[in-house]
Structure 1
Amino acid sequence: MKVTCPNCGYKSGISSSKQMSYSVREIYCHCENPDCDAVFVVSQCFKHYTRPPKPVMEKAVVELVRCLSPQDKKELLAMITHPEQAKLL
């Protein structure tokens, strides 16, 4: 992971880190520019998924299928088993 100094923009080393919570970590850094020599802390946190984990997606699919009418479930099964015959919207 690359960390740049917020003061001079120079490359900074990571001396240690501390887990603050499940999704937040504080990272202790030191600037490698001898003319700056700043020591600072940056935060690393989870923001959002760009692709949710498979278990989350599988659960969502199951819930969506449960909401379908029996007829819609039959049509979905037909689309899955014979995709070449499926009518697209």
Structure 2
Amino acid sequence: MQVLKIFCPVCGHRATIRKSNRKHREISDVYCACNDVECGHTYVLNITFSHTISPSAKSDEHIQTMIENFNPHQRQLALGLLNSSTV
């Protein structure tokens, strides 16, 4: 498992995440401190979601969007198919 490595923007040494503040599902402020005692720089990084590489198996948003665009007849057919596959 790969771990996110944070580096000080001033001296380039490794830094430690001290705290994080989740502002939104896709945005966090990460409070960091340089591990070099001679530097001692503390700063905030903004981490944001960019894009999906492989969709989550837990997501049903795509299916919901498709069903919302169905006409009433298509919805009934889909419901019938779903009910028949669970029996």
TM more than 0.5: yes
AA aligned to 1:13 is T
CA 1:52/1:15 → structure 2, altered by over 3 Å: closer, same or farther? same
Q: Report percent identity of matched pairs.
A: 24
Deviations 1:65-85 (A, max 9, x none): x8xxxxxxxxxxxxxxxxxxx
Work out which of the residue numbers 16, 31, 43 in structure 2 matches 1:28. 31
Cα separation, 2, equivalents of 1:53 and 1:32: 35
- RMSD (Å), alpha carbons: 2.3
Cα separation, 1, equivalents of 2:24 and 2:62: 27
Deviations 1:49-72 (A, max 9, x none): 01122445963xx78xx8xxxxxx
User: When you count helix as a share of all residues, which structure comes out higher?
Assistant: 1
Larger Rg: 1
Structure 1 segments unaligned to the other structure (5+ residues): 67-89
Cα separation, 1, equivalents of 2:49 and 2:6: 17
Cα separation, 2, equivalents of 1:40 and 1:57: 36
Deviation at residue 46 of structure 1 after TM alignment: 0.7
User: Aligned to 1:16, what secondary structure does the other structure show?
Assistant: strand
Equivalent position of 2:73 in the other structure: none
Equivalent position of 1:14 in the other structure: 17
Aligned residues: 63
